[in-house]
Amino acid sequence: MMKKQSPETLVAQAAGHVEPVSRGLAPGIYPATTYERDPDLSLPGGAVYARDENPAFDAAEDMLRELEGGAEAMLFASGMASGAALFKALRQGDRVILPQVMYFALQVWVKGFAERFGLELELVENDAASYAAALARKPARLVWVETPSNPLWTITDIAAVADACRSCGAKLAVDNTVPTPVFTRPLALGADFVMHSATKGLNGHSDVLAGALVTRDKSDPIWQGAREERRLGGAVLGPFEAWLLARGMRTLFVRVERAAANAAALADWLDARPDVARVLYPGLASHPDHDVAARQMHGGFGSMLSILTGGGEERARAVKGRLKLFRRATSLGGVESLVEHRKSVEGPTSQAPADLLRLSVGIEALQDLKDDLKRALEGND
**DSSP summary character for residue 246:** H
Q: Alpha-carbon distance 156 to 142, whole Å?
A: 16
Catalytic residue (one of 141, 200, 317, 342): 200
Strand partners, 174: 145, 194
For residues 154-173, b (16+ Cβ closer than 10 Å) or e, as one string? Answer: bbbbbebbbbbbeeeebbbb
220 in catalytic set: no
Rg (CA), the chain: 21
Supply angle C-alpha 122, 113, 103, rounded to 5. 65
175 in catalytic set: yes
Contact 30/216 with Cβ under 8 angstroms?
A: no
3-class DSSP state for residue 308?
Answer: strand
Q: Alpha-carbon distance 234 to 236, whole Å?
A: 5
Who contacts 196 (Cβ-Cβ below 8 Å, separation ≥6)?
Answer: 64, 79, 82, 175, 176, 177, 180, 202, 211, 212, 213, 214
200 in catalytic set: yes
Catalytic residue (one of 62, 94, 175, 192): 175
51 in catalytic set: yes
Catalytic residue (one of 30, 35, 103, 131): 103
> Would you name the residues annotated as active-site residues?
51, 103, 175, 200
